[in-house]
Structure 1
Amino acid sequence: MDYFVKTLAGIKAKGVRPDLIGSIIAHYASKWLPDLSADHHPATDRGLTIFAESPESVTTLWMKKRFFVETLVAILPPEKDSVPCVFLLRLLRIANMVGVEPTYRAELEKRISWQLDQASLEELMIPSFSHTCGTLLDVELIIRLVGMFVNLDEVAKSGAALIKVAKLVDSYLAEASVDSNLNFSEFVALAGALPSHARATDDGLYRAIDTYLKAHPGVSKQERKVLFRLIDSRKLSHEASLHAAQNERLPVRAVIEVLFCEQTKLNRQMDWSGSFSGTRSPYLGFEAPTRCLSKREMCGQQIEVRKLREDVHRLQSQCYAMQMQMERLSEKKKGFFRWKFENVMPSSILKSNNLSVVDKIDKSNEGEGEVGCGIQTPEDLKTKLVRGKKKNPRWRKSIS
């Protein structure tokens, strides 16, 4: 180890990039301590470590491991992302197991918090090596890591990193909730460590709370209310809302709130679909605050928009076909009854510019001896037409 530290100091003096220095340290550590290797299998280890075949006592071996880990932490490059987060989490697991000094442990936790969005759920499942802790997992460690990550400045953490950490915390809570010894205060502290805008959807948090209630049937009614206050009902998906509405482990007030939010979403969707026809929704101004939609919700909305457009095009084509059919029928009727109106309203009357159409009809009715208002009804016109045809001698001659 002393020669490695001196060699690494000479490499740093040459101006080698920090990420290359970190890869050298990770490769050296995985060779001498197989627990830090990604493909580590305890059954296949054959003396690759300096601690495996030593004839010394177990206490001496653990002290050597502690010195090895503390030396590795001391020579890590100070730059961010110089060492993978997976390697740091494995190093922290061994550091907690062998009991390194608190200063080295704090340094490791600080470096992990910088890159917590790069961690995986498997590496976060660090067991608790403390005799005072009743849980199998070190939940207090994860609470500290998430707290330090949230307290980072906005430049060090991005919105995407915050969303990744939120998903990671929800998955960790779902796994840790199975432990019946998990304290209620620890669960609430870890679930509420992240801000509300970190979760695009609360389905993962709801699953973790439901798992906790299954494993802890003795939770009081007041504690159930506290747990459900951690969830935003507006961020639950349709499947999660249906499950929550039928969940007997939730308080009645929580179920009512979920149903109300689902009804509000349904009204909003109906209002949104009705906006294509120009209608105004009565719920305008009372909708829930907008939020960032997930990819699943965006795909669902795009499918609904596509279906609505297809329906609109289909209705337009049907209306156009009906309109063409009505025009053809009107043309047929006009051609069939054209002979009835040729003797009633000649074209010479319609082409005159001095009198109106009504006055011209009145003038044509003068001297007929008809009693009326001057405008003949269709029945009168029909009777007049029939009488005129009866007085035509050529019509009688043709009949005879």
Structure 2
Amino acid sequence: EKRVSWQLDQASLKELMIPSFSHTCGTLLDVELVSRLVKRFTGLDEGVKSGAALVKVAKLVDCYLAEAAVDCSLSLGEFIELAGALPPHARATDDGLYRAIDTYLKAHPGVSKQERKLLCRLIDTRKLSPEASLHASQNERLPVRAVIQVLFSEQNKLTRHLDWSGSLGGVRSPSPNAFGLELPARCLSKREVMAQQVEIKRLKEDVVRLQDQINALQGQLDRLVEKKRGFFRWRRFSLVSGFRNVNESGRSEGIGERDFGEVGFGRHTPIAVDHMKSNQLVKGKTPLRWRKSLS
């Protein structure tokens, strides 16, 4: 094991996929053996191991954890022990470690909330790439506190990025110390500055395009509301017109019944009022207001 640990940076993932032949270990892979090898490697003198070798071993361990996390028999303690065997500065990015933790949470849905917090403490959110941060912010398997830390780290990165771009473009902006941020370790090259300016321009164009889409949707919504209002207004107008036609027809029928008596030939003329009164007194029946005349 000691000789293998000296050359661990030259090993491949396939060579580390050693099956477990121990009766006491319930995992498919010999995770304990790999943990011992990594600890021996990190315990070597600085003259034996270099920074590049440490980075290679860190990537190798993250890939191994992603493969071993699929095993349902892998305990949380073994996973944390192997992931924490490397020093924090060994990983240039924590994307591989995040992928391994996400795989472990998928394969072990019964992990408690406290255990999820222990796993997420292994991740340095400042070392996550934008793609990994976007995935983590939408990952329902992570605790809420871990998601908030990811969002806060991305906000700090964006603020620092805009501050650098503004200072390089000649625009006065607050210093990074005002936000509690660290100053950049080196000056950016001309190519990096141009790339950042192109990225900012693209973001502004995206914002303008989204604003146009919002305005178009708002216009469609206004037209739809106006169309519905016009429909109900026309319906109310048609109902009122129908009622008016019915009333007018009823009035015309009433006038016809009141003004005309029996239907016959000839011309109808009104009779005298005195004669009508005498008929009422003598005959005791309702007089006719109209009579037939042949003249």
Into which bin does the TM-score normalised by the smaller protein fall? Answer: 0.5 to 0.7
Per the alignment, do residues 262 and 301 of structure 1 end up closer, same or farther by CA in structure 2, a change over 3 Å counting?
farther
CA–CA separation in structure 1 for the residues paired with 2:190 and 2:78: 37
Q: Alignment partner for residue 201 of structure 1, among 93, 103, 112?
A: 93
Hey, what's the Cα distance between the residues in 1 that align with 2:131 and 2:121?
Answer: 19
Aligned partner of 1:127 in structure 2 is: 19
Q: Distance in 1 between matches of 2:159 and 2:50?
A: 34
Q: Distance in 2 between matches of 1:169 and 1:235?
A: 17
Once the two structures are TM-superposed, the CA of residue 304 in structure 1 deviates from its matched residue by: 1.5
Give the C-alpha shift of residue 275 in structure 1.
Answer: 1.1
Q: Take 1:187 and 1:150, find their aligned partners in 2: how far apart are those partners?
A: 17
Against the structure 1 CA distance between its residues 300 and 200, is the aligned structure 2 distance closer, same or farther, given a 3 Å change threshold? Answer: farther
* Matched position secondary structure for 2:62: helix
Query: Which residue of 2 is the match for residue 48 of structure 1?
Result: none
Mapped contact 2:2–2:40 kept (Cα < 8 A): yes
Q: Judging changes above 3 Å, is the alpha-carbon distance between structure 1 residues 169 and 257 closer, same or farther for their aligned structure 2 residues?
A: same
Conservation of the 8 A alpha-carbon contact between 1:136 and 1:179: yes
Name the structure 2 match of 1:172: 64
Structure 1 residues 241 and 300: alpha-carbon distance in aligned structure 2, compared to 1, 3 A threshold: farther
Question: What's 2:272 paired with?
Answer: none
Measure, in 2, the Cα distance between the counterparts of 1:232 and 1:280: 31
CA contact (8 A) 1:267 1:283 kept: no
User: One-letter code of the match for 2:46?
Assistant: E
Aligned twin of 1:248: 140
Aligned to 2:122: 230
Asked if 1:158 is matched to 2:158, the reply is no
In the TM superposition, residue 256 of structure 1 has moved relative to its aligned partner by: 0.5
Alpha-carbon distance in 1 for matches of 2:54, 2:127:
17
User: Does structure 2 conserve the Cα–Cα contact (< 8 Å) formed by 1:268 and 1:283?
Assistant: no
Q: 1:197 to 1:125 in 2, by over 3 A?
A: same
The alignment partner of 2:22 has SS state of coil
**Pair 1:289–1:256, CA change in 2 (3 A):** farther
Using the alignment, how far apart are the partners of 2:56 and 2:2 within structure 1?
A: 18
- Alignment equivalent of 2:84, drawn from 161, 169, 192: 192
Gaps of 5+ in 1: 1-108, 293-297, 312-400
Structure-2-length-normalised TM-score: 0.63
Aligned pair partner of 2:195 in 300, 304, 309:
304
Q: Which has the larger radius of gyration?
A: 2
Would the aligned equivalents of 2:165 and 2:197 in 1 still touch at CA under 8 Å? no
Deviations 1:329-381 (A, max 9, x none): xxxxxxxxxxxxxxxxxxxxxxxxxxxxxxxxxxxxxxxxxxxxxxxxxxxxx
CA 184–158 in structure 1, closer or farther in 2 if over 3 Å, else same = same
Q: Quick one: distance in 2 between partners of 1:132 and 1:283?
A: 58
Identity %: 71
Does structure 1 residue 217 correspond to structure 2 residue 109?
yes
Number of matched pairs: 198
1:141 to 1, 8, 33: 33
| RCO higher in structure (CA 8 A, sep ≥6) | 2
Q: What TM-score does the superposition give when structure 1 sets the normalisation length? A: 0.47
Structure 2 unaligned runs (5+)? Answer: 203-295
Is contact 1:114-1:149 (8 Å) kept?
A: yes
Distance apart, 1:278 and its partner CA: 2.7
Evaluate the alpha carbon distance shift between residue 116 and residue 222 of structure 1 in structure 2; reply closer, same or farther with a 3 A threshold. same
C-alpha offsets along residues 196-216 of structure 1, whole Å, 9 cap, x if unaligned?
Answer: 110000000000000000000
RMSD of aligned Cα (Å): 2.5
TM-aligned CA distance change 1:131 to 1:218, over 3 Å: same
